Chains A and B, each alone.
Chain A
């Protein structure tokens, strides 16, 4: 090999080593202190979910934990303390993990308010953005300790996902990886995966004497009609451990005109700004 090529390869190797070390170091810092990166405009949504995880791990006094999907986030935006609304693709399992942490760290916690619209609450693991919203933020050594077969079976079907336990892997520019191995669930259905983790969440709260409230942010009129008031989910939970949780849930669903929707589930922001108190009041009315 000629002298210049040897020199170039050494230069590349040295540069690669420096880049690798710096990348690993920065990734560890970012994963432990997500606020630093988010503050600098780090754009990936998964680190925002990590912010919620870190907030749930912070020792504090709070009697209520607010969790939920992105529609609930429109009504109650993240406050980095006890309002930890995120998005539907963290699944019921992600909400369970947030709650588990909050129970361990929030002094005087009495209520967990879990808000999610019915089209989202029953999601399966196979959503396209699972990597960003669940795998990257939640998968850590610690979380694998308690993982049961419902999670490990899913991870085992794509073993490369275990690499995402390592923070540098989370920061690699890979996102939106297609994990849709299964058929996408119906919008008016609770997947088995969701049912399992909702039951786990209910039991977790009950064993810690914390009241779990399941409520729904408002939905569009058309969806309410199309899915017949989510009759299929009503049938699914009837006579199960979840029936008591869902009975007021269905009463909490308020409807607004579809014209005010920005997409299938999210409301136009200016509409939310105008209607926020009313929307929240209608959502929480069954629980007073």
Chain B
């Protein structure tokens, strides 16, 4: 089920009403689990079995680790969890990629292999819930938390519907205790949740989905050949806002919906386009994934300890794996490598831990900061071309076009992007400016729209945003991009 669907509009009020009318936490959790499975199964009930399987394996692994003092046995149980979860990911997400790559490379050596392809659909959210269950077992193994014996709570932790399919990837240390204990409804919490959901919908339905039309045109191979460099630049910038609106919008809706149910999820995006360096960008973009890789991959590999060579290796590993996590395509690996190369100089100069506070948090914004912010945004946009392109060749053509497609041979007409039934590029530009203005003024808050102005001015703004969503929103129920990752 999509958040931006009529089904969810009916589903959530029913869930909300029944959920809060149940007093006993255990029954409340049973209900939440059923609701979560309905939410997920709405897309394809067959893949529910994978969610249940992954949950049961890690639940059993947690108990298994608790019940033994033998380190070798504990390690074997952890290995079982790793093989199960990464095996599921490998099978459903990466098998086809590796099989066809193997055949391709063998073909270059003159050996012809016909790879066995599975033709399986990628189960929605598999990258998210497998990482979530995996983190539980690793935390139990490392002694960071006590495993739970409450099966219902554990299943609910994995399947909790607001964040099941596209995160934030929650740690058991944070989410599980909230599920096992009784939740309390508060007026302020619920209103804050509504505000965050509203902002999420604005980002998804108004910004991301309207950008998508233009971006799809810009990245079509025919268009790349004939488009003027400026048109390609516009396409790349719009994709930056599309992916931000889409993914951070999803996170906002998930966090808001969850808060209305009395459960706090972690912040997943913290105004990443206001970053002054790539290091800061990665502290603000998809935080739940970045911190996951930091805690479960980078630090176990040695992090920045050891020799410079080892540290550099670790940086590349984390960026490449992070890129590959997004999908079985060389473009994602290239995107990860690109960011590793951008991050490396910061690390070598010891600047990777600078800019820990949001820009202007001390009340002062320098010209240098603004220039750094713009340069960072440009670098991120170049990376997005790699991320969005269908293949490396297309990415190369696009980037080449950005730098060389100037002159009258190339079409500069931005109306080329315009299709019937869509908002114009100008109106979309105004919407993006509204997004940036509101986020800029509220960049010190986790929940962008949660503030008060005199005489109820904040409610007027929220009301205006709702009207903009209704009148300018794209309501064709487009999927969230990160569903595919």
A-side residues, CB < 8 A to B, are 2, 4-5, 7-8, 11-12, 18-19, 22-23, 26, 37, 40-45, 70, 132, 171, 173-176, 269
B-side residues, CB < 8 A to A, are 20, 185-187, 190-191, 194, 210, 415, 420-424, 426-427, 430, 463, 466-467, 470-473, 475-476
Bound state CA distance, A43 and B431, in angstroms? Answer: 13
Q: Which residue of the partner chain, among A12, A26, A43, A45, contacts B472 with CB atoms under 8 Å?
A: A43
* CB-CB under 8 A for A44 and B421, given A171-B470, A174-B475: yes
* CB-CB under 8 A for A11 and B421, given A43-B472, A173-B473, A175-B475: no
**B471 pairs with A4, CB closer than 8 A:** no
* CB-CB under 8 A for A11 and B187, given A18-B463, A175-B475: yes
Q: Provide the main secondary structure of the chain B interface.
A: helix
**Residues of chain A lying within 8 A (CB to CB) of residue B187:** 4, 7-8, 11
**A43 pairs with B476, CB closer than 8 A:** no
* CB-CB under 8 A for A41 and B421, given A5-B20, A5-B185, A175-B475: no
**Residues of chain A lying within 8 A (CB to CB) of residue B472:** 41-43
**Residues of chain B lying within 8 A (CB to CB) of residue A43:** 210, 421-424, 427, 472
**A42 pairs with B467, CB closer than 8 A:** no
For B416, give the chain A residue with the smallest CB separation: A269
**Residues of chain A lying within 8 A (CB to CB) of residue B466:** 19
**A171 pairs with B467, CB closer than 8 A:** no
Listed residue (B421, B424, B427, B472) with the most chain A CB atoms within 10 angstroms of its CB: B421
* CB-CB under 8 A for A41 and B426, given A132-B421, A173-B470: yes
Bound state CA distance, A22 and B467, in angstroms? Answer: 9
Minimum Cβ distance to chain B for residue A136 (Å): 12
**Residues of chain B lying within 8 A (CB to CB) of residue A176:** 476
**B426 pairs with A173, CB closer than 8 A:** no
Q: Which residue of the partner chain, among B421, B423, B463, contacts A19 with CB atoms under 8 Å?
A: B463
**Residues of chain B lying within 8 A (CB to CB) of residue A42:** 471-472
Per CB-CB distance, the 7 closest pairs between chain A and chain B, nearest first, are A41-B427, A173-B475, A43-B423, A4-B187, A45-B421, A8-B190, A7-B187
Bound state CA distance, A175 and B473, in angstroms? Answer: 12
Minimum Cβ distance to chain A for residue B344 (Å): 44
Bound state CA distance, A199 and B421, in angstroms? Answer: 31
Supplied contacts A22-B467, A171-B471, 17 more A-B pairs, CB within 8 Å: A4-B186, A4-B187, A4-B190, A5-B20, A8-B187, A8-B191, A11-B187, A11-B191, A12-B194, A19-B466, A23-B470, A41-B430, A43-B422, A43-B424, A45-B421, A70-B420, A175-B475
Minimum Cβ distance to chain B for residue A30 (Å): 8
**Residues of chain B lying within 8 A (CB to CB) of residue A132:** 421
| A-B CB contact pairs (8 Å), 19 listed | A2-B185, A4-B185, A4-B186, A4-B190, A7-B187, A8-B185, A18-B463, A19-B466, A23-B470, A26-B467, A37-B471, A40-B427, A42-B472, A43-B422, A43-B424, A43-B427, A70-B420, A171-B471, A176-B476
Q: Which residue of the partner chain, among A26, A45, A173, contacts B420 with CB atoms under 8 Å?
A: A45
**Residues of chain B lying within 8 A (CB to CB) of residue A18:** 463
Listed residue (A2, A8, A40, A176) with the most chain B CB atoms within 10 angstroms of its CB: A8
For A129, give the chain B residue with the smallest CB separation: B421
For A2, give the chain B residue with the smallest CB separation: B185
Minimum Cβ distance to chain A for residue B60 (Å): 38
**Residues of chain B lying within 8 A (CB to CB) of residue A174:** 475
Minimum Cβ distance to chain B for residue A184 (Å): 20
**Residues of chain B lying within 8 A (CB to CB) of residue A40:** 427
**Residues of chain B lying within 8 A (CB to CB) of residue A11:** 187, 191
Bound state CA distance, A176 and B467, in angstroms? Answer: 21
Bound state CA distance, A37 and B470, in angstroms? Answer: 13
